[in-house]
């Protein structure tokens, strides 16, 4: 099967105009070339062809950006801005994103390969919502008042209170799977807290981070509050993670790079938040409503082409309904339309890059070699783009690489189980602990199982439901800390105690 090309002529003129630009870095309120003058190609994963170019920032550019963010923090214009005014600017940015939803969605679709339907229906609305949610918090941040007893000063009288002080300059490093959304998850709470930020988007998907910087400029954010340095991880990313002028680094990406970020942060002991990989179980109990569980289990893995950190990539089904569920999921996988992201009929777009396509393909081959059985997909379509057919494996064993390792593509491994103790042990048998889902109508079993799952999010009769109100993050090697939720903004603050002798 040969797949059609992405048709860029279907996009908004403003999208094409943006693609046609030779993109620069956004530092200190200016659009500047990289100090080396270098740039890199931005590719359309549906064709492998260049669609734009971005400046290749390196350590010298990170230094400039961190210096700018430091000045913008120290001049206090942003951190001392009245909370109501900071909120208004964040809302203004959200308004501009809303007006340009179609352009942001097309850029993410072209850059990442994801369908324009997912980009416009999930990524961008959720990113806007994240800005609005976090915009509501600055005026409600509260410290506490305390009465210290101080046992070693029996006659002393004290009064104390706590302040939430912005942590300072934040380095934000994000991956390519949800370019605008993950930028929002970092920027919105950090900016709401009064921090200044240097954002390094993934080399594969630099476009919408730059577009967001344009919108922030238009919204009127003070100079230097938001800086965007495009470039590669081992140069720009590493320089940001180790920079002594950065107070906190917030990272989403692979567990492997998460470890490097942690090591790089030791120099100045910067604060670190890590949102890393996953190998999340979806557990179908025998009493589940199969009309919900079967499409739900398929969507848990195939949403966003499986390039989702919380994807339900391990499916555990009670042996009494295993054949029925697998037949249903395999049928959905076989019927999914694989194609370029801009085609409104596409359900599975390309992997983000050749490297990622080859990685996913090699996992599929390893599954076959280790004796697993393919019941859907298992192949890579012909043609220039980075496509992989949605794949379902059965007859798997826990020691297979496809069962234990994160594949980050549209590949599902399915296992039958006999009882709850067995499935709980298997579901928790992972170095990861990002999420899990339970498919059942039995309220008592659901709520007995949920707290025993070692996962940062447990979904019930749904999967991949993310929201600005829901804390998100991982147990075990899926990360450190949480994003989203009302505590997301305080995660970008230091708690300061002020103690007064009366
Ligand atoms: P990655 O290498 O962890 O990249 C994530 C971000 O970190 C990118 O901006 C990357 O820049 C940057 N980076 C890479 N090396 C760095 C370093 N030494 N210091 C500082 N920053 C660095 O992830 P990936 O290459 O995009 O994907 C590899 C695997 O990671 C995937 O197959 C998947 O398993 C996992 N992943 C997880 C998530 C998630 O949401 N948890 C998201 C994406 C990927 P470059 O783009 O230039 O490499
Ligand atoms: Mg990478």
Packing angle, helices 13-20 and 101-112, rounded to 10: 50
Nearest CA to ligand 1 atom 7: 233
Cβ pair 214, 9 in contact under 8 A: no
Ligand 1 centroid to Cα of residue 355, in Å, is 12
The b-or-e profile of 48-85 (16+ CB within 10 A means b, else e) is eeebbbbbbbbbebbbbbbbbbbebbeeeebbebeeee
Query: What per-residue confidence (pLDDT) applies to 4?
Result: 74
- Tell the residue number behind the tokens 């097309």, with chain if given: 106
In which element (H, E) is residue 42 found? Answer: strand 39-44
Average pLDDT over residues 141-160: 97
Residue with tokens 């942003």: 78
Please name the residue whose Cα sits nearest to atom 10 of ligand 1.
233
Ligand 2 center to 423 CA (angstroms) = 33
Give the pLDDT confidence score for residue 5 in this predicted structure. Answer: 83
Q: Is the CB of 205 under 6 A from ligand 1?
A: no
Out of 309, 310, 347, 406, the active site residue is 309
- Residues β-bridged to residue 27: 30
Is 471 in a helix, a strand, or coil?
Answer: coil
Q: Indicate the pLDDT class of residue 3, thresholds 50, 70 and 90.
A: confident
pLDDT tens-digit readout, 79-138: 999 999 999 999 999 999 999 999 999 999 999 999 999 999 999 999 999 999 999 999
Q: Is the CB of 177 under 6 A from ligand 1?
A: yes
Active site (annotated) includes residue 494: no
CA of 253 to the centre of ligand 1 (A): 4
Place of tokens 């029925």: 324
Ligand index nearest the alpha carbon of residue 237: 1
**Residue 423: CB within 6 Å of ligand 1?**
no
Residue 78's pLDDT band, with cuts at 50, 70 and 90, is very high
What integer pLDDT is reported at residue 1 of this predicted model? 58
Closest C-alpha to ligand 1, atom 14: 233
Round to whole Å and give the CA distance between 126 and 124. 5
- 453 versus 2: the higher-pLDDT residue is 453
Which domains can be identified in the chain, with CATH numbers? 8-276+479-499 (3.40.605.10), 281-468 (3.40.309.10)
Termini Cα distance of the chain: 80
Q: Is the CB of 408 under 6 A from ligand 1?
A: yes
Q: Sort strands 479-480 and 271-275 into parallel, antiparallel or unpaired.
A: antiparallel
Which residue minimizes the CA distance to atom 48 of ligand 1? 233
In short, whether 175's Cβ falls inside 6 Å of ligand 1 is yes
| pLDDT tens by residue, 332-344 | 999 999 999 999 9
What span, in angstroms and rounded, lies between the C-alpha atoms of 33 and 26? 9
Asked whether the predicted pLDDT for residue 399 surpasses 70, the reply is: yes
Residue indicated by tokens 């599902």: 412
CA angle 413, 419, 425 (to 5 degrees): 60
Predicted confidence (pLDDT) at residue 2 exceeds the cutoff of 80: no
> Residue 380: what pLDDT?
95
Ligand 1 contact via 229 beta carbon (within 6 Å): no
Angstrom distance (rounded) from CA 18 to CA 107: 9
- The three-state secondary structure class of 445 is helix
Question: To which residue do tokens 């908004």 refer?
Answer: 12
pLDDT tens digits for range 178-222? 999 999 999 999 999 999 999 999 999 999 999 999 999 999 999
Ligand closest to Cα of 176 equals: 1
- Say what percent of the chain tops pLDDT 90: 98
The string of pLDDT tens digits covering residues 303-327 is: 999 999 999 999 999 999 999 999 9
Check 58, 87, 203, 275 and give the catalytic one.
Answer: 275
What pLDDT digit, counting tens, does each position of 11-59 carry?
A: 999 999 999 999 999 999 999 999 999 999 999 999 999 999 999 999 9
Question: 202 C-alpha to center of ligand 2: Å?
Answer: 7
pLDDT average, residue stretch 136-159: 97
Q: Which ligand is nearest to the CA of 249?
A: 1
CB of 405 within 6 A of ligand 1: the answer is no
Helices (H), 21-123: 59-74, 83-99, 101-112, 116-118
pLDDT band at residue 388, thresholds of 50, 70 and 90? very high
Query: Using CA positions, which residue lies closest to atom 45 of ligand 1?
Result: 233
State whether the beta carbon of 202 lies less than 6 angstroms from ligand 1: yes
Q: Active-site residue 98, yes or no?
A: no
pLDDT value of residue 383? 81
Alpha helix positions (H), 254-346: 255-264, 290-302, 322-335
- Give 146 Cα–ligand 2 centroid separation in angstroms: 47
Helix (H) or strand (E) holding 392, with range, is strand 391-394
Distance of CA 152 from the midpoint of ligand 1 (Å): 51
What token pair was written down for 302?
């195939």
CB of 340 sitting under 6 A from ligand 1: no
pTM for the complete prediction?
Answer: 0.98
Q: Is the pLDDT of residue 232 over 80?
A: yes
pLDDT-based confidence at residue 397 (cuts at 50, 70, 90): very high
Give the side-chain half-sphere CA count within 13 A for 368.
12
Between CA 27 and CA 213 the distance in angstroms is 10
> What are the backbone angles phi and psi of residue 237, rounded to the nearest 5°?
-65, -45
Tokens of 387: 């496509």
Reported as type and span, the H/E element at residue 275 is strand 271-275
238 lines ligand 1 (CB under 6 A): yes
Give dist(CA 127, CA 114) in Å, integer.
16
């Amino acid at each position: 099967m040969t797949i059609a090309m992405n048709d860029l002529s279907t996009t908004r003129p403003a999208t094409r105009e943006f693609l046609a630009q030779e993109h620069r870095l956004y530092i200190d309120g200016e659009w500047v070339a990289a100090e080396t003058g270098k740039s890199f190609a931005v590719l359309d994963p549906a064709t492998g062809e260049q669609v734009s170019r971005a400046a290749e920032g390196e350590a010298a550019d990170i230094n400039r950006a961190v210096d700018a963010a430091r000045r913008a923090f120290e001049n206090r214009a942003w951190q001392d801005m009245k909370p109501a005014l900071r909120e208004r600017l964040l809302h203004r940015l959200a308004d501009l994103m809303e007006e340009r939803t179609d352009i942001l969605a097309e850029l993410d679709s072209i850059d990442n390969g994801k369908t324009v339907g997912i980009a416009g229906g999930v990524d961008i609305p959720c990113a806007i919502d994240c800005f609005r949610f976090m915009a509501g918090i600055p005026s409600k941040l509260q410290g506490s008042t305390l009465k210290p007893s101080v046992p070693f000063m029996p006659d002393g009288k004290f009064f104390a209170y706590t302040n939430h002080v912005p942590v300072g300059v934040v380095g934000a490093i994000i991956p390519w799977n949800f370019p605008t959304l993950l930028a929002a998850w970092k920027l919105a709470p950090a900016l709401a807290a009064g921090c200044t930020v240097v954002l390094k988007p993934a080399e594969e998907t630099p476009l919408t981070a730059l577009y967001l910087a344009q919108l922030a400029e238009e919204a009127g954010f003070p100079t230097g509050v938001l800086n965007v340095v495009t470039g590669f991880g081992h140069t720009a990313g590493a320089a940001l993670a180790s920079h002594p002028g950065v107070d906190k680094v917030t990272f989403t990406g692979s567990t492997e790079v998460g470890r490097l970020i942690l090591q790089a942060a030791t120099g100045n002991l910067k604060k670190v938040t890590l949102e890393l990989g996953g190998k999340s179980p979806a557990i179908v109990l025998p009493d589940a409503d199969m009309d919900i569980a079967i499409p739900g289990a398929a969507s848990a893995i195939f949403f966003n082409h499986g390039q989702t950190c919380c994807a339900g990539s391990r499916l555990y089904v009670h042996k009494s309904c295993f054949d029925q569920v697998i037949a249903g999921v395999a049928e959905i996988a076989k019927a999914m339309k694989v194609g370029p992201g801009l085609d409104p009929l596409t359900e599975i777009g390309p992997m983000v890059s050749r490297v990622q396509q080859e990685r996913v393909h090699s996992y599929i081959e390893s599954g076959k070699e280790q004796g697993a059985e393919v019941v859907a997909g298992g192949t890579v379509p012909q043609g220039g783009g980075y496509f992989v057919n949605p794949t379902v494996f059965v007859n798997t064993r826990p020691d297979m690489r496809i069962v234990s390792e994160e594949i980050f593509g549209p590949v599902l491994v399915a296992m039958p189980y006999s009882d709850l103790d067995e499935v709980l042990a298997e579901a928790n048998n992972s170095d990861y602990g990002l999420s899990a889902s339970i498919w059942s109508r039995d309220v008592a079993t659901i709520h007995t199982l949920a707290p025993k799952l070692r996962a940062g999010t447990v979904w019930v009769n749904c999967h991949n439901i993310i929201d600005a109100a829901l804390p998100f993050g991982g147990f075990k090697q899926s990360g450190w800390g949480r994003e989203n939720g009302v505590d997301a903004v305080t995660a970008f603050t230091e708690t300061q105690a002020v103690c007064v002798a009366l």
